Structure 1
Amino acid sequence: MKAYIGLLLCLISARLYAQQDKQADTTVNHTVPLILANKADLLNNVDVIVNTQTAFNNYFSNGKYNSSQFAVNQFRLEIKGDVLDDKVFFRFRNRYTKDPEVQSIDNITSSTDLAFIGYNLSDRTSIAIGKLCAAWGGYEFDMNPIDIYQYNDIVENADNFLTGVQFTWAASADHILTAQVLNSRTKTYKELYEEVPELKEAKFPAAVVASWNGSFLDGKIQTLWSFSIFQEANKNSNNSVNMYYTALGNQLRLKDWLVQYDFKWSSEQLDRTGVVSSLIPENLLGHAAQHVDYKEHWLRVMYSLNQQWRLAAVGMVSTARWKDLPNETGNSNRLRTAWGIIPSVEFYPIENYNLKFFGAYVGRYLEYSSYSKTTLGQMNGNTGRIMIGIISPLLIL
């Protein structure tokens, strides 16, 4: 009896489902596609990319094992393309592994990397406006973030994506010049620096960025150089308080070898990077430090064993200096030197497809000056991270 009842219920359910499906057919005209053919052609010029880095992370500090966890280290959704006969272009990228907090200055979330629209004025010249990637030089910053296992101090702590306008001119196929006028920050002056004596917030905190991408010897030697000026505040109503940032990226590409070297120098009249300020207790300062200086070296060497296996190593060093140190500390104004070493191995299982499995070690070593130890209470130390995972910019459209 139960079997007959069950069969009857199944027949009734199937009949009701068929009626619902038929009702759906009467409300939607399936003879007209949702995307018309003349509109579908636009999708040929649009890419939808999911940039991911997922890994099993193992953490160490001062030689001792701390913890392990699976984590999505990077997840950035990107949509970009051309419209109107390649005259108009756009790009949007949002990071889902960062808190989506709306920023005080540009009124867009900090998790949004890029959101701009551009226009090709000619075959060589273009203009773009919106939230842009600052045209800073250096190959460390130019790489897709999912391919980075750890940034050096300046890029790690910078506002890398700022709102403004960008002009690009291709002087030739081998030399491209870019100029940008941007907001110098995404947060308010007080949020970043607190109240600094004798300084007043600039009425238009602006950044001017100029960059040059060069190529020589059929691309064997390439350059990514830039110079930037950031105005943050004024002193005595006349003198500007600025940050000056220089990044010189150089690349050598041979048959099986890739060598990249960056030199970065950030001279900051008000501590924008924030490393120096973070080392000084609040009872000694209470606001952002002034007259700081950061110098960095970043070297990456990659060797391709074959089409599937690659070995790489990154070495980096960052020095933080505070020029307002008391005179009795001697001639050196160095507070901290941070060293980093990142050996890695990458395996590409699918030919001509940018998906890779990787294993990497991220070692960081912090060395403090005698002043930092005795007065600021800092101690030398090191951290380590062993990562095993997968990386891919998945092109889904």
Structure 2
Amino acid sequence: MKKIFFLLLVCLCFNTSFSQEKQTNEGVLTNRDTIKSLIPVKKQSLLRDVDVIFNTRMAFNNYFQDGSHSLSKFNFDQLRLEIKGKIHDKVSFRFRDRYTREPIPGNLDNISRSVDMAFIKVDLSPRTNLTVGKMCADWGGYEFDFNPIDILTYNDIIENADNFLVGVGVAHTFADQKNSLSFQVLNSRTKTFQEQYGATIPPGIEASKAPLAFVANWRGSFFNGKFETTYSYSFFNEAKNTNMNYIALGNKFSAKNFVLYYDFQYSKEKLDRKGIISNIISSQYQYAAQDALYIENWLRAEYLVNPKLNLMLTVMNSNHSWESNPDPKGSSKMSSSYGIIPTVQYMPFKDLNVRFYLAYTARKFNYTKYAETTFGVKDYSTGLLSLGFVAPLLVL
């Protein structure tokens, strides 16, 4: 309700002069009775540099399990309110809240998990800035770089990670305007160590007094922008003498009416942060897995047939291994997942970014013979047929 009230105040501010003139001319109000804006006139200029956006995706979704239809329903897949803008020549802010997630405060960072971003950015120089607050971890790769409304299904690493974290970051763009570097120091998670792992903490593993993540990212542009990169390396201090190394390499190839993205991701975790391996072995091991390894590939192709019709195809794969498997006869490889998402988008408006789409998301989860025999897991598949619309609705 507070956010709705804020928007009403903003609208009132922008429409005050028109409303006053119209009502006065009609003789409804005298000059003495003229309505005054609740926001002082000298502060209204700040709103010229503020955007209010409803990042929206809604669809009629049809779900399938192992080839059988299980449910059909209308669903708000995404609804994120975003407010961003400048409050000073050198200071800007960004806030985005997700209405499709429960607003539960993180015990480590003391901010609701529904809040994606809440930060201020200060320009230290024309090409260098400092960011403080809750922000996107600057992972490399284009899968996470997209607005969430444009990703129908994430691959396993991003789907199971904490992607929005509290901390501080510095970014610098080089003089050629084609390369940039950023460095962040963030909380390694939103929850406390005990809350994250609970009773599954392995014996001998103790919480770190400084659960921090260090993220470095390089973005590059080559061949007049036809080839772009976003590469990152991240180090997570998850617990005492227990860390996680994460590498993400994003590549973008552009041509006339055609764009191709390819991401490679590698996450080596001394303590299984994603939880996929831990879930597989849970029937035999009560603790979180140690030495989990996740390796992924993500590919997305887009072809703009004409200004109103866009074709897309996403293909993804994820491999999950338990490198410290204590079984001398066992296998480290536990499972793999596969996904394919053909999508057709229709864009009827030239001056409004509203896209109607039809997509089918097919996922397959395969377990190794060893995992099936030892832990009782079974292969399965899922499907999702969606007909809906997606739009970053700029309302102000």
Structures share fold, TM-score greater than 0.5: yes
2:358 equivalent to 1:353:
no
- Describe the superposition over 1:316-347 as per-residue Cα deviations: whole angstroms up to 9, x where unpaired: 000000012244435x4110100000000000
Residue 278 (structure 1) shift: 1.3
2:267 equivalent to 1:261:
no
Residue 299 (structure 1) shift: 0.2
1:53 to 29, 51, 57: 57
**Conserved in 2, the CA contact under 8 Å of 1:346 and 1:358?**
yes
- Describe the superposition over 1:179-235 as per-residue Cα deviations: whole angstroms up to 9, x where unpaired: 00000011111222233211111001000000011111221111011000000111x
Unaligned runs of 5+ in 1: 1-23, 235-239
TM-score (norm 1): 0.89
Secondary structure of 2:144's aligned partner: helix
- Which residue pairs with 1:306 in the alignment? 306
2:66 equivalent to 1:66:
no
Distance 2:186 2:29 in 1: 52
- Describe the superposition over 1:143-194 as per-residue Cα deviations: whole angstroms up to 9, x where unpaired: 0000111000000000000000010111131111110000001111122223
2:156 equivalent to 1:156:
no
1:101 to 81, 92, 104: 104
- Which residue pairs with 1:124 in the alignment? 127
2:177 equivalent to 1:176:
no
- Which residue pairs with 2:276 in the alignment? 275
Distance 1:183 1:145 in 2: 22
Distance 1:52 1:31 in 2: 35
Counterpart residue type for residue 319 of structure 1: N
Distance 1:315 1:295 in 2: 15
- Which residue pairs with 1:251 in the alignment? 252
2:233 equivalent to 1:227:
yes
Distance 2:36 2:349 in 1: 39
2:42 equivalent to 1:41:
no
Distance 2:361 2:133 in 1: 34
Distance 1:183 1:296 in 2: 24
- Describe the superposition over 1:23-64 as per-residue Cα deviations: whole angstroms up to 9, x where unpaired: x989x9635333344322211111000000000000001111
Aligned-residue CA RMSD (Å): 1.6
Distance 2:168 2:329 in 1: 44
**Conserved in 2, the CA contact under 8 Å of 1:329 and 1:371?**
no
Secondary structure of 1:305's aligned partner: strand
- Which residue pairs with 1:205 in the alignment? 211
Distance 1:336 1:73 in 2: 28
Secondary structure of 1:200's aligned partner: coil
Taking only the aligned residue pairs, the percentage that are identical comes to 46
Distance 1:53 1:329 in 2: 48
- Which residue pairs with 2:195 in the alignment? 191
- Describe the superposition over 1:246-283 as per-residue Cα deviations: whole angstroms up to 9, x where unpaired: 0000000111110000000000000011111111225x
Distance 1:30 1:129 in 2: 42
**Conserved in 2, the CA contact under 8 Å of 1:88 and 1:117?**
yes
- Which residue pairs with 2:7 in the alignment? none
Counterpart residue type for residue 144 of structure 1: N
Unaligned runs of 5+ in 2: 1-27
Secondary structure of 2:76's aligned partner: strand
Secondary structure of 1:311's aligned partner: strand
- Which residue pairs with 2:393 in the alignment? 394
- Which residue pairs with 2:168 in the alignment? 165
Secondary structure of 1:98's aligned partner: coil
- Which residue pairs with 1:376 in the alignment? 375
Distance 1:248 1:318 in 2: 15
Distance 1:249 1:139 in 2: 6
Distance 1:116 1:72 in 2: 26
- Which residue pairs with 1:297 in the alignment? 297
Counterpart residue type for residue 251 of structure 2: N
Distance 1:295 1:307 in 2: 36
